[in-house]
Amino acid sequence: MDFQSFIQSGLLEAYVAGQCTAAERQEVARMAEQHPEVRAELAQIEQALENFAVANAIAPPPGLKDRILDQIDNLPQSNNAPGSNSNQGNSGSSALRIFQGLAVVLAAAAAFFFW
Amino acid sequence: MDNQQLITRLQQQDRAAIGELYDAYGDALFGVVLRIVHSRELAEQVLQDTFVKVWRNVSSYDASKGRLFTWLLNIARNTAIDVTRSAHFQQSRKTDSIENLLHTPGGDALNPDHVGLREVVDRLDDKYRLLIELVYFKGYTQEEAAEETNIPLGTIKTRLRYAIAELRTQFGAGLVTALNLFFLSM
Protein backbone atom coordinates (compact mmCIF):
# COMPACT_ATOMS: atom_id res chain seq x y z
CA MET A 1 0.00 0.00 0.00
CA ASP A 2 1.38 3.46 -0.76
CA PHE A 3 1.91 5.61 2.27
CA GLN A 4 -0.82 8.10 1.37
CA SER A 5 -3.52 5.43 1.38
CA PHE A 6 -1.97 4.02 4.51
CA ILE A 7 -2.28 7.39 6.24
CA GLN A 8 -5.94 7.70 5.11
CA SER A 9 -6.84 4.21 6.27
CA GLY A 10 -7.47 5.08 9.92
CA LEU A 11 -4.92 2.52 11.06
CA LEU A 12 -2.64 5.18 12.53
CA GLU A 13 -5.46 6.52 14.71
CA ALA A 14 -6.15 2.99 15.94
CA TYR A 15 -2.45 2.42 16.57
CA VAL A 16 -2.19 5.49 18.79
CA ALA A 17 -5.28 4.28 20.68
CA GLY A 18 -3.50 0.98 21.31
CA GLN A 19 -6.21 -0.92 19.45
CA CYS A 20 -4.35 -2.64 16.67
CA THR A 21 -3.74 -6.32 16.35
CA ALA A 22 -0.11 -7.40 16.64
CA ALA A 23 0.06 -7.78 12.86
CA GLU A 24 -1.29 -4.26 12.34
CA ARG A 25 1.20 -2.85 14.84
CA GLN A 26 4.04 -4.46 12.93
CA GLU A 27 2.74 -2.99 9.70
CA VAL A 28 2.54 0.50 11.22
CA ALA A 29 6.06 0.14 12.61
CA ARG A 30 7.33 -0.98 9.22
CA MET A 31 5.64 1.86 7.32
CA ALA A 32 6.83 4.38 9.93
CA GLU A 33 10.37 3.16 9.53
CA GLN A 34 10.22 3.46 5.75
CA HIS A 35 8.29 6.71 5.39
CA PRO A 36 8.98 9.93 7.27
CA GLU A 37 5.49 11.08 6.22
CA VAL A 38 3.97 8.26 8.25
CA ARG A 39 6.20 9.10 11.23
CA ALA A 40 5.17 12.75 11.01
CA GLU A 41 1.50 11.80 10.81
CA LEU A 42 1.79 9.60 13.91
CA ALA A 43 3.54 12.38 15.82
CA GLN A 44 0.80 14.84 14.90
CA ILE A 45 -2.00 12.50 15.98
CA GLU A 46 -0.24 11.94 19.29
CA GLN A 47 0.36 15.65 19.76
CA ALA A 48 -3.34 16.41 19.16
CA LEU A 49 -4.30 13.90 21.84
CA GLU A 50 -1.74 15.29 24.26
CA ASN A 51 -3.17 18.77 23.69
CA PHE A 52 -6.67 17.39 24.28
CA ALA A 53 -5.61 15.81 27.57
CA VAL A 54 -3.80 18.96 28.69
CA ALA A 55 -6.88 21.03 27.83
CA ASN A 56 -8.93 18.75 30.09
CA ALA A 57 -6.41 18.75 32.92
CA ILE A 58 -7.64 18.67 36.52
CA ALA A 59 -5.37 19.60 39.41
CA PRO A 60 -4.50 16.75 41.76
CA PRO A 61 -4.27 17.65 45.46
CA PRO A 62 -1.05 19.46 46.41
CA GLY A 63 0.35 16.74 48.66
CA LEU A 64 0.26 14.01 46.04
CA LYS A 65 3.57 14.91 44.43
CA ASP A 66 5.42 14.48 47.73
CA ARG A 67 3.68 11.18 48.41
CA ILE A 68 4.85 9.92 45.04
CA LEU A 69 8.43 11.07 45.62
CA ASP A 70 8.38 9.49 49.09
CA GLN A 71 7.19 6.18 47.70
CA ILE A 72 9.86 6.29 45.02
CA ASP A 73 12.50 7.10 47.62
CA ASN A 74 11.44 4.02 49.58
CA LEU A 75 11.68 1.63 46.66
CA PRO A 76 14.59 -0.82 46.76
CA GLN A 77 17.66 0.48 44.90
CA SER A 78 18.64 -0.39 41.33
CA ASN A 79 15.08 -0.99 40.20
CA ASN A 80 15.89 0.57 36.88
CA ALA A 81 19.32 -0.86 36.18
CA PRO A 82 19.42 -2.16 32.62
CA GLY A 83 18.27 -5.74 32.52
CA SER A 84 17.21 -5.77 36.16
CA ASN A 85 13.96 -7.43 37.09
CA SER A 86 11.50 -4.59 37.49
CA ASN A 87 9.37 -6.76 39.73
CA GLN A 88 11.93 -6.79 42.52
CA GLY A 89 10.26 -4.00 44.42
CA ASN A 90 6.80 -5.53 44.50
CA SER A 91 6.67 -7.03 47.98
CA GLY A 92 8.48 -4.00 49.39
CA SER A 93 6.10 -1.51 47.87
CA SER A 94 2.96 -3.44 48.81
CA ALA A 95 4.20 -3.71 52.40
CA LEU A 96 4.78 0.02 52.29
CA ARG A 97 1.30 0.49 50.80
CA ILE A 98 -0.29 -1.47 53.65
CA PHE A 99 1.70 0.56 56.15
CA GLN A 100 0.63 3.80 54.48
CA GLY A 101 -2.97 2.60 54.46
CA LEU A 102 -2.80 1.82 58.19
CA ALA A 103 -1.22 5.19 58.88
CA VAL A 104 -4.08 6.90 57.06
CA VAL A 105 -6.67 4.87 58.99
CA LEU A 106 -4.99 5.59 62.33
CA ALA A 107 -4.71 9.29 61.50
CA ALA A 108 -8.38 9.39 60.54
CA ALA A 109 -9.34 7.62 63.76
CA ALA A 110 -7.23 10.01 65.81
CA ALA A 111 -8.84 12.97 64.03
CA PHE A 112 -12.26 11.54 64.83
CA PHE A 113 -11.43 11.28 68.52
CA PHE A 114 -9.83 14.68 68.90
CA TRP A 115 -12.21 16.87 66.96
CA MET B 1 10.24 20.65 27.58
CA ASP B 2 13.03 18.52 26.21
CA ASN B 3 11.56 15.07 26.52
CA GLN B 4 14.67 13.29 25.33
CA GLN B 5 16.75 14.78 28.11
CA LEU B 6 14.02 14.04 30.65
CA ILE B 7 13.84 10.41 29.57
CA THR B 8 17.60 10.03 29.80
CA ARG B 9 17.58 11.48 33.32
CA LEU B 10 14.70 9.19 34.33
CA GLN B 11 16.60 6.20 33.04
CA GLN B 12 19.53 7.32 35.17
CA GLN B 13 17.17 7.39 38.17
CA ASP B 14 17.36 11.16 38.52
CA ARG B 15 14.72 11.80 41.18
CA ALA B 16 14.23 15.43 40.17
CA ALA B 17 13.25 14.23 36.70
CA ILE B 18 10.17 12.33 37.93
CA GLY B 19 9.13 15.49 39.79
CA GLU B 20 9.44 17.51 36.60
CA LEU B 21 7.46 14.88 34.70
CA TYR B 22 4.73 15.17 37.32
CA ASP B 23 4.75 18.96 37.04
CA ALA B 24 4.42 18.73 33.27
CA TYR B 25 1.84 15.97 32.93
CA GLY B 26 0.37 15.17 36.33
CA ASP B 27 -2.73 17.28 35.94
CA ALA B 28 -3.41 16.09 32.39
CA LEU B 29 -3.14 12.47 33.55
CA PHE B 30 -5.22 13.17 36.66
CA GLY B 31 -8.02 14.47 34.45
CA VAL B 32 -7.94 11.28 32.39
CA VAL B 33 -7.92 9.03 35.45
CA LEU B 34 -10.62 10.94 37.33
CA ARG B 35 -12.99 10.67 34.39
CA ILE B 36 -12.57 6.89 34.43
CA VAL B 37 -12.81 6.11 38.14
CA HIS B 38 -15.13 8.99 39.12
CA SER B 39 -13.68 9.26 42.62
CA ARG B 40 -10.98 11.71 43.70
CA GLU B 41 -9.65 9.32 46.30
CA LEU B 42 -9.29 6.49 43.82
CA ALA B 43 -7.88 8.84 41.18
CA GLU B 44 -5.15 9.97 43.57
CA GLN B 45 -4.15 6.38 44.26
CA VAL B 46 -4.18 5.55 40.55
CA LEU B 47 -2.07 8.60 39.70
CA GLN B 48 0.41 7.65 42.39
CA ASP B 49 0.58 4.08 41.08
CA THR B 50 1.04 5.43 37.57
CA PHE B 51 4.05 7.56 38.40
CA VAL B 52 5.65 4.78 40.42
CA LYS B 53 5.16 2.42 37.45
CA VAL B 54 6.64 5.04 35.14
CA TRP B 55 9.65 5.39 37.42
CA ARG B 56 10.17 1.64 37.64
CA ASN B 57 9.62 0.90 33.95
CA VAL B 58 11.10 3.85 32.12
CA SER B 59 13.81 1.61 30.69
CA SER B 60 11.08 -0.13 28.70
CA TYR B 61 9.91 3.09 27.02
CA ASP B 62 10.82 2.96 23.34
CA ALA B 63 10.81 6.37 21.67
CA SER B 64 10.61 4.77 18.22
CA LYS B 65 7.18 3.34 19.12
CA GLY B 66 5.60 6.64 20.08
CA ARG B 67 5.77 9.84 22.07
CA LEU B 68 6.38 9.96 25.79
CA PHE B 69 2.93 11.30 26.63
CA THR B 70 1.20 8.45 24.76
CA TRP B 71 3.20 5.98 26.85
CA LEU B 72 2.27 7.80 30.08
CA LEU B 73 -1.36 7.97 28.99
CA ASN B 74 -1.50 4.23 28.32
CA ILE B 75 -0.13 3.42 31.77
CA ALA B 76 -2.51 5.83 33.51
CA ARG B 77 -5.55 4.72 31.52
CA ASN B 78 -4.86 1.00 31.93
CA THR B 79 -4.25 1.38 35.67
CA ALA B 80 -7.52 3.27 36.01
CA ILE B 81 -9.44 0.71 33.93
CA ASP B 82 -8.04 -2.11 36.06
CA VAL B 83 -9.50 -0.40 39.12
CA THR B 84 -12.93 -0.21 37.48
CA ARG B 85 -12.82 -3.93 36.79
CA SER B 86 -12.30 -4.85 40.41
CA ALA B 87 -15.34 -6.44 42.05
CA HIS B 88 -15.28 -3.85 44.82
CA PHE B 89 -15.49 -0.97 42.37
CA GLN B 90 -18.29 -2.59 40.39
CA GLN B 91 -20.36 -2.96 43.51
CA SER B 92 -19.87 0.58 44.67
CA ARG B 93 -20.54 2.51 41.50
CA LYS B 94 -23.07 2.40 38.71
CA THR B 95 -21.58 1.95 35.26
CA ASP B 96 -20.98 4.89 32.91
CA SER B 97 -24.00 6.18 31.15
CA ILE B 98 -23.73 8.34 28.07
CA GLU B 99 -24.94 11.28 30.16
CA ASN B 100 -22.08 10.74 32.62
CA LEU B 101 -19.63 10.51 29.78
CA LEU B 102 -20.83 13.74 28.17
CA HIS B 103 -20.96 15.74 31.38
CA THR B 104 -17.53 14.95 32.67
CA PRO B 105 -15.88 17.56 34.87
CA GLY B 106 -14.44 20.46 32.94
CA GLY B 107 -10.74 21.14 32.90
CA ASP B 108 -9.15 23.59 35.31
CA ALA B 109 -7.30 25.57 32.64
CA LEU B 110 -4.59 25.75 35.30
CA ASN B 111 -1.97 27.21 33.09
CA PRO B 112 -2.66 30.41 31.14
CA ASP B 113 -0.76 28.88 28.22
CA HIS B 114 -3.35 26.11 28.11
CA VAL B 115 -6.44 28.29 27.96
CA GLY B 116 -6.14 28.31 24.18
CA LEU B 117 -6.08 24.51 24.13
CA ARG B 118 -9.17 24.45 26.33
CA GLU B 119 -11.01 26.74 23.91
CA VAL B 120 -10.20 24.49 20.97
CA VAL B 121 -11.55 21.44 22.79
CA ASP B 122 -14.68 23.30 23.90
CA ARG B 123 -15.37 24.38 20.34
CA LEU B 124 -15.28 20.80 19.14
CA ASP B 125 -18.73 19.42 18.48
CA ASP B 126 -20.02 17.18 21.30
CA LYS B 127 -20.23 14.11 19.12
CA TYR B 128 -16.55 14.36 18.16
CA ARG B 129 -15.39 15.16 21.67
CA LEU B 130 -17.31 12.19 23.07
CA LEU B 131 -15.72 9.82 20.56
CA ILE B 132 -12.23 11.02 21.38
CA GLU B 133 -12.97 10.61 25.10
CA LEU B 134 -14.32 7.08 24.62
CA VAL B 135 -11.66 5.73 22.31
CA TYR B 136 -8.52 7.48 23.49
CA PHE B 137 -9.14 8.22 27.12
CA LYS B 138 -11.53 5.54 28.32
CA GLY B 139 -10.15 2.56 26.47
CA TYR B 140 -13.23 1.76 24.39
CA THR B 141 -12.49 -0.02 21.14
CA GLN B 142 -14.16 1.47 18.10
CA GLU B 143 -16.57 -1.49 18.14
CA GLU B 144 -17.45 -0.84 21.77
CA ALA B 145 -17.91 2.86 21.04
CA ALA B 146 -20.26 1.94 18.18
CA GLU B 147 -22.28 -0.24 20.54
CA GLU B 148 -22.33 2.35 23.29
CA THR B 149 -23.47 5.18 21.04
CA ASN B 150 -25.67 3.16 18.66
CA ILE B 151 -23.74 4.59 15.74
CA PRO B 152 -22.56 2.31 12.91
CA LEU B 153 -18.93 1.28 13.11
CA GLY B 154 -18.12 2.83 9.73
CA THR B 155 -19.47 6.19 10.91
CA ILE B 156 -17.44 5.89 14.11
CA LYS B 157 -14.24 5.38 12.14
CA THR B 158 -14.94 8.32 9.85
CA ARG B 159 -15.94 10.60 12.71
CA LEU B 160 -12.88 9.69 14.75
CA ARG B 161 -10.59 10.47 11.88
CA TYR B 162 -12.39 13.74 11.28
CA ALA B 163 -12.28 14.65 14.99
CA ILE B 164 -8.52 14.16 15.15
CA ALA B 165 -8.00 16.10 11.93
CA GLU B 166 -10.16 18.92 13.27
CA LEU B 167 -8.22 19.03 16.53
CA ARG B 168 -4.94 19.15 14.65
CA THR B 169 -6.13 22.00 12.43
CA GLN B 170 -7.50 24.00 15.35
CA PHE B 171 -4.48 23.43 17.59
CA GLY B 172 -2.22 24.30 14.69
CA ALA B 173 -4.24 27.44 13.94
CA GLY B 174 -3.95 28.47 17.56
CA LEU B 175 -0.21 28.02 17.43
CA VAL B 176 0.04 30.09 14.23
CA THR B 177 -2.04 32.85 15.86
CA ALA B 178 0.09 32.77 19.00
CA LEU B 179 3.27 32.95 16.95
CA ASN B 180 1.86 35.85 14.91
CA LEU B 181 0.96 37.76 18.06
CA PHE B 182 4.41 37.09 19.47
CA PHE B 183 6.21 38.41 16.43
CA LEU B 184 3.91 41.43 16.17
CA SER B 185 4.68 42.38 19.76
CA MET B 186 8.42 42.36 19.19
B34-47 pLDDT, tens per residue? 999 999 999 999 99
Closest alpha carbon within chain B to A53: B28
Number of domains in chain B: 2
Q: Which of B49, B58, B64, B70 to mutate to test the interface with A (most CBs of A within 10 A)?
A: B70
Give me the total of CB pairs closer than 8 Å, taking one residue from chain A and one from chain B.
155
Same domain, B108 and B66: no
What sign results for the dihedral spanned by CA atoms B10, B14, B16, B18?
Answer: positive
Buried b (16+ CB within 10 A) or exposed e, A17-36: bbbbeeeebebbeebbeebe
| Domain boundaries defined on chain A | 3-55, 64-76+88-114
Same domain, B16 and B100: no
**What integer pLDDT is reported at residue B99 of this predicted model?**
47
**What integer pLDDT is reported at residue A8 of this predicted model?**
86
Degrees to nearest 5, angle at CA B123 with B106 and B186: 100
Q: Rounded to the nearest 5°, which phi and psi values hold at B93?
A: -130, 145
pLDDT tens digits along A13-31: 889 988 889 999 999 999 9
- Residue type (1 letter), B147: E
Domain edge (last residue) among B77, B94, B111: B94
Q: What is the pTM of this model?
A: 0.77
Cβ-based neighbour number of residue B146 at 10 Å? 19
Q: Across residues B110-126, what is the average pLDDT?
A: 82
**What integer pLDDT is reported at residue A83 of this predicted model?**
46
Instruction: Select the residue of A42, A55, A86 nearest B107 (Cβ to Cβ).
Output: A55
What number is the ipTM of this complex? 0.83
pLDDT tens digits along B84-112: 988 777 776 655 555 455 445 555 555 67
A58 in Cβ contact with B108 (< 8 Å) = yes
The CATH number that applies at residue B9 is 1.10.1740.10
Domain containing B185 equals 96-186
A88 pLDDT band, cuts 50/70/90, is very low
